[in-house]
A and B are shown apart, each in its own frame.
Chain A
């Protein structure tokens, strides 16, 4: 779809000048729009969707009291969390206790700045992404790693044994799953030949090209499983593991700080889904390449959102179906299966590329 070409924007551009417009005004507007109209409502309604879907899977109807079909439930939840008492344990390490939720939420939101939700704009309009960094993939990995520190710090600073165990578990999980996740991302990277996410998406379109999920099914699988583990979702929700560790790293958190952890978890889910969409499922591209031109009528961002929703649904579906791994089994899975498979995939991709497409 054409980027928003509004006359007002054009006049602002002329007033501010190109530099200020493209590097100052435009990103700020996009961030504001993305954050307040995109991510935050999406997260709050993702919570509702999760409760609804889980409810339907579990022979019940989920929240349906606040507003018709419960659509005002997230607002009620947010209000509740905002006005609840925000307890600070007496023996907690205060600065770390306060810092931890921010460390979880911040990086998760920052990642959205490099994710392309739609195609590059024609000159004179805003693109459907905040910025296109040529090392975007590294940026994504780096930021995703920071989020885990929040869990560890939160678990440690609470001065609670269950929290500490949750923190340690999340540390173990991070170490085990960062590696296969990173390695899995190298596959599409090699195929696309660029670290820019926009370039990677563009490399999946055009004649003779296909979504990277087909050549890189293994990498996609590893990435998604590792992603589920990274975002601490069932069946890898060990750091919380409410039946074992009460609530894991956020046992002592309440009110808005707890809400931030919650926000971070769901933001991470969206990030993982968005990155998976971008790298493996052609981002904003319509399915079936150019076979059905009618599909291209639907704007790119909508395709992007649809694909993300599919992933989010499977997240919820997993939560509704699977038991939880034990933490040593989780690490077994990471080290003994995922990393060798990811390495194998890497070697295979490299070899095929070297032999069959040496000039690509």
Chain B
């Protein structure tokens, strides 16, 4: 019986029609395409996007720079006396991140001892494409702090 059924299946091309049925059914299913510039995909809360730095919280311990597997965080600081509190304080001279080579592993954020973190990657930014690597993907202290969402390029920006 099963042999007959198998033979009939073979003759009737049921296997092929089953496949055709699946593709036909999928024609009417919901499409998953995200129409990118108009619709944007919203990253998860923990998304490791672009860096942000909070200079006030930073205690200049340079653990993030040491924890970075590819050494792209460059920190210089000096000590100076705060005129208000007359206490010695560490002041950042330089906090640069060379995002060109960054692999967004998040170890810098994980190593940061302050609570909440002074450097973190959860900026939900993924539009980091740029026309010039050095000017756009080498971010310094000010840029790290004032980082807003880097807007997707518009027609005006290209021209």
Does A35 belong to the interface (CB within 8 Å)?
A: no
Does B33 belong to the interface (CB within 8 Å)?
A: yes
Instruction: Please tell me if the beta carbons of B20 and A317 are within 8 angstroms of each other in the complex.
Output: yes
CB distance from A325 to the nearest CB of B (A): 12
Nearest CB in chain B to that of A57: its residue: B23
Does B70 belong to the interface (CB within 8 Å)?
A: no
Does B45 belong to the interface (CB within 8 Å)?
A: no
Instruction: Please tell me if the beta carbons of B26 and A317 are within 8 angstroms of each other in the complex.
Output: no
Most chain B CB atoms below 10 A, which of A57, A58, A322: A57
CB distance from B141 to the nearest CB of A (A): 40
Contacts A317-B20, A322-B19 given; does A57 touch B33 at CB 8 Å: no
Residues of the B chain whose Cβ atoms lie less than 8 Å from the Cβ of A56: 26-27, 31
In the assembled complex, the Cα of A320 lies from the Cα of B20 at a distance in Å of 8
Does B24 belong to the interface (CB within 8 Å)?
A: yes
In the assembled complex, the Cα of A53 lies from the Cα of B24 at a distance in Å of 10
Nearest CB in chain B to that of A235: its residue: B16
Query: A59's contact among B20, B32, B35, by CB below 8 Å, is which?
Result: B32
Instruction: Please tell me if the beta carbons of A59 and B19 are within 8 angstroms of each other in the complex.
Output: no
In the assembled complex, the Cα of A61 lies from the Cα of B30 at a distance in Å of 10
Query: A57's contact among B16, B26, B30, B32, by CB below 8 Å, is which?
Result: B26
Residues of the B chain whose Cβ atoms lie less than 8 Å from the Cβ of A60: 31-33
Does A134 belong to the interface (CB within 8 Å)?
A: no
In the assembled complex, the Cα of A321 lies from the Cα of B29 at a distance in Å of 16
Residues of the A chain whose Cβ atoms lie less than 8 Å from the Cβ of B31: 55-56, 59-61
CB distance from A2 to the nearest CB of B (A): 38
Nearest CB in chain B to that of A59: its residue: B32
Number of interface residues of A (CB under 8 A): 14
Instruction: Please tell me if the beta carbons of A57 and B24 are within 8 angstroms of each other in the complex.
Output: yes
Nearest CB in chain B to that of A65: its residue: B35
Nearest CB in chain B to that of A316: its residue: B23
Instruction: Please tell me if the beta carbons of B32 and A321 are within 8 angstroms of each other in the complex.
Output: no
Nearest CB in chain A to that of B29: its residue: A59
In the assembled complex, the Cα of A360 lies from the Cα of B140 at a distance in Å of 92
Query: A61's contact among B19, B20, B33, by CB below 8 Å, is which?
Result: B33
B8-34 interface with A by 8 A CB criterion: 16, 19-20, 22-24, 26-27, 29-33
Contact with B along A312-335 (1 / 0, CB 8 A): 000001101110000000000000
Nearest CB in chain A to that of B31: its residue: A61
Instruction: Please tell me if the beta carbons of B19 and A321 are within 8 angstroms of each other in the complex.
Output: yes
CB distance from A187 to the nearest CB of B (A): 19
Contacts A59-B29, A61-B33 given; does A322 touch B24 at CB 8 Å: no
In the assembled complex, the Cα of A60 lies from the Cα of B19 at a distance in Å of 18
Contact with B along A44-71 (1 / 0, CB 8 A): 0000000001011111110010000000
Instruction: Please tell me if the beta carbons of A317 and B24 are within 8 angstroms of each other in the complex.
Output: yes
In the assembled complex, the Cα of A318 lies from the Cα of B130 at a distance in Å of 41
Instruction: Please tell me if the beta carbons of A321 and B23 are within 8 angstroms of each other in the complex.
Output: yes
Residues of the A chain whose Cβ atoms lie less than 8 Å from the Cβ of B32: 59-60
In the assembled complex, the Cα of A59 lies from the Cα of B30 at a distance in Å of 7
In the assembled complex, the Cα of A321 lies from the Cα of B23 at a distance in Å of 6
In the assembled complex, the Cα of A56 lies from the Cα of B16 at a distance in Å of 19
Most chain A CB atoms below 10 A, which of B24, B26, B27, B30: B27
Contact with A along B115-153 (1 / 0, CB 8 A): 000000000000000000000000000000000000000
- State the B residues within 8 Å of A (CB): 16, 19-20, 22-24, 26-27, 29-33, 35
- Add 18 more A-B contacts to A59-B29, A320-B23, A322-B19 (CB < 8 A): A53-B27, A55-B31, A56-B27, A56-B31, A57-B23, A57-B26, A57-B27, A59-B30, A59-B33, A60-B31, A60-B32, A60-B33, A61-B33, A64-B35, A321-B16, A321-B20, A321-B22, A322-B16
- State the A residues within 8 Å of B (CB): 53, 55-61, 64, 317-318, 320-322
Closest 10 pairs between A and B when the two form their complex, measured CB to CB: A57-B23, A56-B27, A321-B19, A60-B33, A321-B23, A61-B33, A320-B23, A61-B31, A59-B32, A57-B27
